[in-house]
A and B are shown apart, each in its own frame.
Chain A
Amino acid sequence: MRILTKTSLYYLLVSFVVFLLGGIGYYLILQGEIYDEVDDQLFTDKENILAFIRRTNTLPHVTSGVTETILVKEVTNATPVLESLTDTLIYSSYDEESIPYRRLTFTAYQNNRVYQYTIMKSVMDFDDLFESTVFAMGWTFLMLLVGLGAVNYSINKYTWRNFYNTLQKIKRYSLSQYGPLQLKPSNTTEFQELNSVLQAMTNKIHADYLNLKEFTENVSHEIQTPLAIVNSKLELFMQSATLTTDQAKLLEEMHHSVTRLARLNKSLILLTRIENREFKENEDVALHELLAQQTEQLQELIDMHGLQLEQSITKPVFVHMNRGLAEVLVSNLLINAIQHNQPNGIIKVALTKAKLCIQNTGEAIQNSPDNMFGRFVSGSNKSGSLGIGLALVNKICSVYSLQPSYTYQDGMHTLCINFSNKNR
């Protein structure tokens, strides 16, 4: 949920609760006031009646309307009601509803006889007043609520705009295509701080990235020459006739390691070069032809491993990328399928317009499949495997926005490369 929506919702919620409590409070106060008023009038009437009786020594003329009633009856109770104030409902046939009344009952003595007076007053009028007041108040509250909400929202939106701007920029930020972060200056202290922290951070990250990149590049390139020298000297050494068998064995092991190191170095250089996006010349590579070429070249290895190759390439597929990298991609996928296969296993190659899938039989990998595309992750402990092949595949995919995926089911590893739409 966006922070704007969130704060607005909280704001509305709090306003609603406050208005609700305020409304209830207002209602209760108003109600109290009205009862007070009615009761006052009832007591005034009582005083008036008692005063009338005292003055004239006769019962007052009894009116009997709907809105105002005075009932007098003679009672013989031993304990007469002195004074009692109650609510009651009286049915009005005109309104066809029961109307709330306030009733005051008191006792008056005249000529040694006891009379019970009941004065009733309708609270209806006050109720109407109350209703319309609540209604008006309600509307005011509602308008206030909506108005405040809108104002709050737009103010928030305005103050947070720099934040969203920064967020957008950060989202688009990419290390390999570094341009300094152009963040909009803000007069909000927090956003100013955020921007300066981000700026410092990305600058630092970028500097580190460059250092690391430079280091990898330099190291890989500088390693070439010493390797070449060691390699050549070893080869010269091997040719000497006076070697004993033990020495020869030692030499061979050294030579093997140097060769392995050289191969690893070559792959690392290639990886770095892909990362640096040095392969700029792209063309529409005929993937179907490339696959055919590569499988032909690897046929011997496939036969040697006793593997069975099943190909289903239906239509010509062209992918816009660098030819050299496309070759590396395809050959690494195929080599991976050969290398991690089981004896007499199967390799299935399927190419469609949407994706290239290479399946091979083999045991499930122990590592988590997410690590598959990392560097130096070897599925098995077979020597000769550097575990860099799929890292190359992954890197090439990321350069061309292709999506590699991996699944394992029923003893079959499936590696797919999905071609995104923009590549066609």
Chain B
Amino acid sequence: MRILIIEDEQALNASIVTYLQQEGYTCDSAYDFREAKLMAADMPYTCVLIDLNLPHGDGLDLVKLLKENTPETGIIIISAKNALDDRITGLELGADDYLTKPFHLSELNARLKSIIRRRNFNGQKTVQIGDLEVFPDAAEAQVQGKKLVLTKKEYDLLLYFLANRNRVLTKDSIAEHLWGDHVEALDSLDFVYTHIKNLRRKIMEAGGEDYIQTVYGLGYKFVNP
């Protein structure tokens, strides 16, 4: 799977590339509008990450262009602008998702996975790790054929972990993924712990293994033991 990252800030571009490469994607980088236009025309990408403020042009034009030429390409806009209208225009033009800077790389990864999954690029309907099987279409998960009864938040948490397998996820990024802007209402991140404890318990009660590791001082990690 090939991802094109259009971001003029070199350091950020490099971080994204490193993170996604570790996930097994092939990544290309473009640093301005013209370069991005050429690269997007050259080769079909699975997904394109577009920064809206680009040298020599507007990222929204690239969205339009990509939508016309390669409609199957997934598009995620990453922007420092959090203008509601930008978000709406972007999504109306055909972008699949919109992330405001600064974002967590794990969040970007989860969104990317979700787009790829929705578009069924890898022909895979389920995600399987050991005994655990997740059916994103039905929003269900099961362990050894036994259905897990998960709340919406627990299911979201599970998907987030699956998208970032073997990665350390901080409580902050988990909280922001689950509660979005409402994260401010959380007095402490202990709620994250409660959710993780419940998810872990439910998986283990169904006969699964303990996939969620606590990384002391940092957060949590979903591993296949």
Contact = CB atoms under 8 A, between A and B. Distances in A.
Interface of A: 221, 224-225, 227-233, 235-236, 238-239, 243, 245-246, 248-249, 251-252, 255-256, 258-259, 262-263, 266, 269-270, 273, 278-279, 281, 297-298, 300-301, 304, 322, 324, 331, 335, 338-339, 382-386, 389
Contacts of A259: 104, 170, 172-173, 176
A228 B216 contact: no
A259 B100 CA distance: 13
Given A232-B12, A235-B105, A386 B184 contact: yes
Given A239-B167, A266-B82, A297 B182 contact: yes
Interface string B170-187: 111100100101111111
B147 interface: no
B168 interface: yes
Interface stretch (B15-23, B63-71, B110-118, B134-142): B15-23
B11 interface: yes
Given A263-B183, A266-B82, A255 B102 contact: no
Nearest to A261: B102
Nearest to A270: B82
A231 B188 contact: no
Contacts of B102: 224, 227-228, 230-232, 258, 262
Contact of A232 (B15, B84, B184): B15
Interface string B41-85: 000000000000000000000000000000000000000111111
Interface residues of B, number: 45
Given A232-B19, A324-B84, A245 B182 contact: no
Nearest to A300: B153
Contact of B182 (A232, A238, A298, A385): A298
Nearest to A232: B15
B185 A335 contact: yes
B215 interface: yes
B9 interface: yes
A300 B104 CA distance: 23
Contacts of A331: 181-182
A229 B172 contact: no
Given A236-B18, A256-B170, A256-B172, A231 B187 contact: no
A263 B100 CA distance: 11
Contact of A269 (B12, B82, B215, B219): B82
A413 B70 CA distance: 55
Contacts of B145: none
B25 interface: no
Interface centre among B12, B81, B179, B216 (most CB of A within 10 A): B12
A322 B83 CA distance: 13
A248 B11 contact: no
11 contacts: A225-B12, A230-B102, A233-B11, A235-B104, A236-B18, A238-B170, A245-B216, A248-B215, A263-B184, A304-B191, A324-B84
Contacts of B105: 231-232, 235-236
Nearest to B152: A300
B204 interface: no
Given A224-B102, A232-B16, A266-B100, A298 B185 contact: yes
B217 A246 contact: yes
A232 B168 CA distance: 13
A172 B11 CA distance: 49
Given A229-B12, A232-B19, A389-B184, 19 more contacts: A221-B80, A227-B101, A229-B11, A231-B103, A235-B170, A235-B173, A236-B15, A236-B18, A248-B215, A248-B217, A249-B216, A252-B170, A259-B170, A266-B82, A269-B82, A273-B83, A298-B185, A304-B191, A335-B182
Interface centre among B9, B84, B85 (most CB of A within 10 A): B84
A301 B84 CA distance: 26
B64 to A, nearest CB: 21
A259 B80 CA distance: 15
A263 B184 CA distance: 9
Interface centre among A225, A230, A270, A298 (most CB of B within 10 A): A225
A201 B87 CA distance: 40
Contact of A235 (B82, B106, B153, B215): B106
Contact of A385 (B16, B22, B80, B184): B184
A236 to B, nearest CB: 6
Contacts of A230: 102
A281 B85 CA distance: 9
A265 to B, nearest CB: 8
B186 A384 contact: yes
Contacts of B217: 245-246, 248-249, 251-252
